[in-house]
Amino acid sequence: MDLLWFTIIWVIVSLLGEWGLHALEHLGLYYYTASAQAIAGEKAVAFILTVLVPVISFVIVLLVYNAIRFRSRSNKPILSRHQFRDNKLFIGSWVILSIALNILFFVHPSASAVEQMFNSEEARFNRNDLVVNVTARQWEWIFSYPQYGIQYAQDTNGNSTLYLPVNRNVRFVLRSYDPYHTYAPYIGVIHDFWVPAFGLKQDIIPGETRYEYVHTNKITSYDVDPMVRVQCAEVCGPGHPYMEAPVHVVSQTDFAKWIQVQKKLQQS
């Protein structure tokens, strides 16, 4: 009887959980996404949680069911009438299922998504990428566009700003050093290049050059959602919280216009 009741409750709670998760998925598990990579990550979260909802419900329902159903009404120790130390079916299925689930997650989404990520970083797929050189210094992001001869992309107030065309592969070339104090080898610290809406981040290590590839997939900007910003995610000193810059993903024509404006700014 206990087994039956437990199973019924478990199934109901699992279904409710799946329904709740589904509703959350519609709202957006990552809240706001603006790149193919972010969507891949969001899908991975959704897949893992969809599979795990019955597992989570199993443990929680069992904890609560046990606590209520098998509680003792006396506060004196009374031996339980059911004493057993083994149940081969329960243990066996627990062990096999937990191994199976883990192998499943390793194959998908871990390995499969990582393979996609590897592919997106293959040089042969990235011949026409927009290259953005990102320099992290304490405490500023500097964006330059070598293909367009732009050294320091800035808005009208002279603050760093990042413009990207929509539906393009972008290759960020990440370096951490201070271009204004290149004689000081101790000045570089670890930063982390993160655009929350792009769904991935990459540490920037002094003395190394790293790459991050993003495929933009919608026109948006910091003004549409504040997750469309560059934010340093690795502590880099007191200025760390202020090390951010707005991002604008714009249409191809707007991007070309912006390039022209930047070129003029460079000359002035």
Partner 1 sequence: MSSHVTDLGSSQLAEHRRRMLPPLVRGLLWAAIGFLVFNTLVSQILDRQPFDPFITRPSVAIGWAAALIGWLLGVGGWEVIVRPYFGYPVEWDVPNDWRRYFMFSTDHKVVGLQYIFSTAGSFFVAGFAAMLMRLELMHAKLWVFSNPGSYLATVGIHGTVMMFSVGTVALVGGFGNYFIPMMIGANSSAFPRLSGLSQWLLPAGVATVVLSPLLGLWDTGWRGYAPLSGQDPSGIVFYYLGVFALTTSSLMVSINLTATILFKRAPGLTWNRLPMYAWGILAVSLLNIIWLPEIQMTFVLALLNNIVPFPLFAEVGTPLTYMEAFWLFGHPEVYIIVVPAFALWQEIIPVMGQKTLFARQWGVLGLVFVMLFSGLVWAHHMFTNMRNSEMLPFSFFTEMISIPTGFAYLVVLGTLWRAKLRLTAPTLLVLMSMFNFLIGGITGVLLADPVVNLQTHDTFFVIAHFHYTIIGAMIFTWLAVAYYWMPRLSGRMYNEKLAILGAIWVFVGFNGAFGQMFFLGLRGMNRWAAAYPVYLQSMNFSVSMFAFLLGLGFLFNLLHIAWMWNRGKPAKKNPWGAQTLEWQTEAQPGEKNFHPLPRVETGFYDYAADGPSRKDE
**Of 43-82, which residues contact partner 1 (CB under 8 A)?**
44-45, 48-49, 52, 56, 59-60, 62-63, 66-67, 70-72, 74-82
Q: Say what angle helices 36-69 and 88-105 make with each other, to 10 degrees.
A: 170
Q: Does residue 16 belong to the site contacting partner 1 (CB under 8 A)?
A: no
β-strand partners of 169: 215
In the complex, the smallest distance separating the C-beta of residue 257 from partner 1, rounded to whole angstroms, is: 27
Question: Residue 144 or residue 176: which is nearer to partner 1 going by CB?
Answer: 176
User: Is there a contact between 191 and 31 (Cβ–Cβ < 8 Å)?
Assistant: no
Report the residue number, 37 or 221, with the smaller CB distance to partner 1.
37
**How many degrees, rounded to 5, is the angle at CA 247 between CA 116 and CA 128?**
45
Q: Least distance from C-beta 266 to partner 1, angstroms?
A: 28
B/e letters for 32-51, b = 16+ CB within 10 Å, e = fewer, are: bbbbbbbebbbebebbbbee
- Find the shortest distance in angstroms from Cβ 256 to partner 1: 30
The Cα-based distances of 65 to 59, 81, 86, 167, 254 in angstroms read 10, 18, 20, 51, 60
**Applying CB under 8 A, does 265 fall inside the site for partner 1?**
no
Contact between 137 and partner 1 (CB under 8 A)?
Answer: no
Q: Which of residues 245-264 bind partner 1 (CB under 8 A)?
A: none
Count of residues in contact with partner 1, rule CB under 8 A = 92
Residue 133 binds partner 1, judged by CB under 8 A: no
Nearest approach, Cβ of residue 263 and partner 1 (Å): 31
Q: Are strands 130-137 and 169-176 parallel, antiparallel or unpaired?
A: parallel
Site for partner 1 in 159-218 (CB under 8 A): 176-177, 185-190, 192, 194, 196-197, 199-203, 205-208, 210
Q: Which is nearer to partner 1, 16 or 91 (CB)?
A: 91
The correct pick among 106, 179, 251, 252 for binding partner 1 (CB under 8 A) is 106
C-alpha span between 204 and 151 (Å, rounded):
19
Smallest gap from Cβ 259 to partner 1, in A, equals: 28
> Which residue among 1, 26, 84, 223 contacts partner 1 (CB under 8 A)?
84
Is residue 15 close enough to count as binding partner 1 by CB under 8 A?
no
Which structure tokens are listed for 18?
């799946």
Q: Are 129 and 169 in contact (CB under 8 A)?
A: yes
Residue 140 β-bridge partners: 137
For 245, half-sphere exposure in the C-beta direction (CA atoms, 13 angstrom radius) is 26
Question: Least Å distance between CB 87 and partner 1?
Answer: 7
